[in-house]
Amino acid sequence: MTLPIFPVLVVDLVGSGLMIFFAVACVRLSLRLYGQDRENVLWVYLLMVSHALAVFAVSRGVGHIAKQLLLLGDYRYLWDVLRPYSGSMNTISFCVVGAVTLFFERIWKVYQQILRDRRALQAVHEELVSLNKRLEDLVSERTEELKRSEQKFRRIFEASRDMIAVVALDGTVLDMNPAGREMLGINGLDLQGEGAASRVSFGTFCAHPEDWENLRERLRRECYVSDAEIDLVSRDGREINGLFSAASQRSIMEKMEIFHFVVKDVSQRKAMQKQLLQADKLASIGQLAAGVAHEINNPLGIILGYTQLLIREEPEGTERYEDLKTIERHTRACKTIVEDLLSFARRSPTRKEPASLHDIITEVLSVARHNLEMRRIEIELHFDPEVPALVLDKDKMRQVFMNLIMNAQQAIGKEGRISIQTSLDADRRHVRVSVADTGVGINPRDLPRIFDPFFTTKSPGEGTGLGLSVSYGIVKDHGGEILVESEPGKGSVFTVLLPLTAEHSGPGEPYE
């Protein structure tokens, strides 16, 4: 029995070649796998196995091919040199494959742990992304809310009719709404701008500098101030009665203290309060004067009656007769004053009838014209033909206009102009008669007292101080108002407002 070696030789040579070919192919594939995911330890394992097997295949294959060729070529001695190296390399390489494979379980567990960690990381990442999204949504929502709030408060700031201002500790105005700018007459100023031109100190608008200092001190001490009345002066010199509400705030961002002001212009309200006070005062005085006048009027009547009886029995020319005449004259003067007081207090009887205001004024002027011409005082008349006839006491109204014209004449002295103008109010409920003069005007301090009985700025003996009081009483008795505007050195304007009765509230019928 013989067994030929040739088939073994062929299988050895072909098999070695195939081993080398597939081992190299495996290395290429494992490299591709590793390239797809370098963090996958399974691929690392296969990469190591493939390389170790490639080393084994090449070493063994080349060794076997070399062996067959060397033996056929009768180079056994060369094969004897190579054989130990080839055999050792084979041993080492498949031992490496075995060792790596034994560690495969550990590699698999590491891989599973990595997967678990990756999943946990992914979950955390997704949660973070979700939280981030929610945070972004929340920030977006809050930003929108903030924007809406800012717009709302900006509208309040812009549309407020009261001044709203932000002022620094040193008084520099940082921001002010349009109403405030208009109130202070700084409309064109850019408060947010750079440079000294845009810097405005709030303190400079206070009528009394100490008010600003006091306000600032109170704000620093108490942090807020409510309903403080401070007078302001605008850039154009207009006086404003301001009602202040203020609060201080320490800005952490800007590290400075700032004040927030809300200032209400109460000038009109104050003026109305003054008028009401004046009316109340005059009503009280009138009540008092009426009481006094009523009590004095009767004794004066008796004194005058008895004096006249005594005069009738006394022959003329005697000293006693002259004395009685003096008593009679002064008693009559007293009686006139008492009657004036009664007129002021609206206790004297009135006889109201339809009459033309223009006629009454013309009659008064015809009496006073001579006197006015002597003093070279011009008269300007502007009668509105729309003014209808009014129901009034002609005598008393004559007295009112006579008082006003005579006062104007005395205020002018010599050379000047008196303008008398009548008009119908836009609401057709009042007739307005204004008497304006170019006289010396009235001192602002005296303005609140000019309607007080016996108040006069004339020299003693020139007037009793009852003229305007009587006029006030008469106009009030007709349901009207008497107003005064005056500027020292330029003149005064007295305005009489008389109400139209119900039948005149329709379109007026011109009577001239």
Q: Are strands 416-424 and 377-382 parallel, antiparallel or unpaired?
A: parallel
* 305 near another protein, rule: CB under 8 A: no
The answer to whether residues 510 and 389 touch, using CB atoms and an 8 Å cutoff, is: no
The answer to whether residues 257 and 220 touch, using CB atoms and an 8 Å cutoff, is: yes
Question: How many chain residues touch another protein (CB under 8 A)?
Answer: 58
Minimum separation from the CB atom of position 252 to another protein (A): 53
Burial 458-474 (b: 16+ CB within 10 A, else e): eeeeebbbbbbbbbbbb
Stretch that binds another protein, among 110-118, 150-158, 172-180, 459-467 (CB under 8 A): 110-118
Helix (H) or strand (E) holding 380: strand 377-382
> In DSSP terms, which residues pair with 205 in a beta bridge?
none
* 26 near another protein, rule: CB under 8 A: yes
The answer to whether residues 355 and 394 touch, using CB atoms and an 8 Å cutoff, is: yes
> In DSSP terms, which residues pair with 396 in a beta bridge?
none
Strand runs (DSSP E) across 169-219, as ranges?
173-176
Integer Cα distance of 274 and 268 in angstroms: 10
In the bound state with another protein, the residue whose beta carbon lies nearer, of 92 and 283, is 92
* 95 near another protein, rule: CB under 8 A: yes
Stretch that binds another protein, among 81-89, 199-207, 246-254, 502-510 (CB under 8 A): 81-89
Minimum separation from the CB atom of position 15 to another protein (A): 2
* 84 near another protein, rule: CB under 8 A: yes
Q: Where are the alpha helices (DSSP H) in 249-393?
A: 267-313, 319-344, 357-374
Stretch that binds another protein, among 98-106, 326-334, 355-363, 448-456 (CB under 8 A): 98-106
In the bound state with another protein, the residue whose beta carbon lies nearer, of 96 and 296, is 96
| Token digits of residue 136 | 């972004």
Q: Which of residues 59-78 bind another protein (CB under 8 A)?
A: 71-72, 74, 76
Stretch that binds another protein, among 16-24, 179-187, 271-279, 412-420 (CB under 8 A): 16-24
Integer Cα distance of 43 and 56 in angstroms: 20
368: phi then psi, degrees, rounded to nearest 5: -90, -10
Instruction: Please name the residue that has the structure tokens 């009547």.
Output: 301
- The angle formed by the CA atoms of residues 254, 257 and 259, to the nearest 5 degrees, is 120
Minimum separation from the CB atom of position 130 to another protein (A): 22
Considering only 38, 39, 77, 102, the residue that binds another protein (CB under 8 A) is 102
Minimum separation from the CB atom of position 126 to another protein (A): 16
Stretch that binds another protein, among 90-98, 175-183, 339-347, 348-356 (CB under 8 A): 90-98
* 121 near another protein, rule: CB under 8 A: no
* 11 near another protein, rule: CB under 8 A: yes
Backbone Cα Rg of the chain: 58
* 107 near another protein, rule: CB under 8 A: no
Minimum separation from the CB atom of position 16 to another protein (A): 7
In the bound state with another protein, the residue whose beta carbon lies nearer, of 111 and 261, is 111
119: phi then psi, degrees, rounded to nearest 5: -65, -45
CA torsion sign, 153 to 154 to 160 to 163?
Answer: positive
In the bound state with another protein, the residue whose beta carbon lies nearer, of 91 and 326, is 91
Identity of the amino acid at 215: L
Distances from the Cα of 414 to the Cα of 112, 214, 378, 404, 407, angstroms: 119, 49, 10, 17, 13
Terminal-to-terminal C-alpha distance of the chain: 168
In the bound state with another protein, the residue whose beta carbon lies nearer, of 84 and 193, is 84
Query: Under DSSP, is residue 204 helix (H, G, I), strand (E, B) or coil?
Result: helix
> In DSSP terms, which residues pair with 431 in a beta bridge?
424, 498
Stretch that binds another protein, among 35-43, 264-272, 289-297, 374-382 (CB under 8 A): 35-43
In the bound state with another protein, the residue whose beta carbon lies nearer, of 81 and 381, is 81
Query: Under DSSP, is residue 225 helix (H, G, I), strand (E, B) or coil?
Result: strand
Query: Under DSSP, is residue 474 helix (H, G, I), strand (E, B) or coil?
Result: helix
* 94 near another protein, rule: CB under 8 A: yes
Integer Cα distance of 55 and 89 in angstroms: 8
Integer Cα distance of 487 and 111 in angstroms: 101
| Token digits of residue 220 | 């620093």
Binding mask 36-55 for another protein (x = CB under 8 A): xx--x-xx--x--xx--x--
In the bound state with another protein, the residue whose beta carbon lies nearer, of 50 and 434, is 50
Stretch that binds another protein, among 100-108, 221-229, 315-323, 387-395 (CB under 8 A): 100-108
In the bound state with another protein, the residue whose beta carbon lies nearer, of 84 and 349, is 84
* 2 near another protein, rule: CB under 8 A: yes
Q: Of 344, 375, 364, which Cα lies nearest the Cα of 464? A: 344
Considering only 39, 80, 90, 469, the residue that binds another protein (CB under 8 A) is 90
In the bound state with another protein, the residue whose beta carbon lies nearer, of 105 and 512, is 105
* 123 near another protein, rule: CB under 8 A: no
* 89 near another protein, rule: CB under 8 A: no
In the bound state with another protein, the residue whose beta carbon lies nearer, of 4 and 193, is 4
Residue numbers at the binding site for another protein (CB under 8 A): 1-9, 11-12, 14-16, 18-19, 22-23, 25-26, 29-30, 32-33, 36-37, 40, 42-43, 46, 49-50, 53, 57, 71-72, 74, 76, 84, 87-88, 90-92, 94-95, 97-99, 101-102, 104-105, 108, 111-112, 115, 119
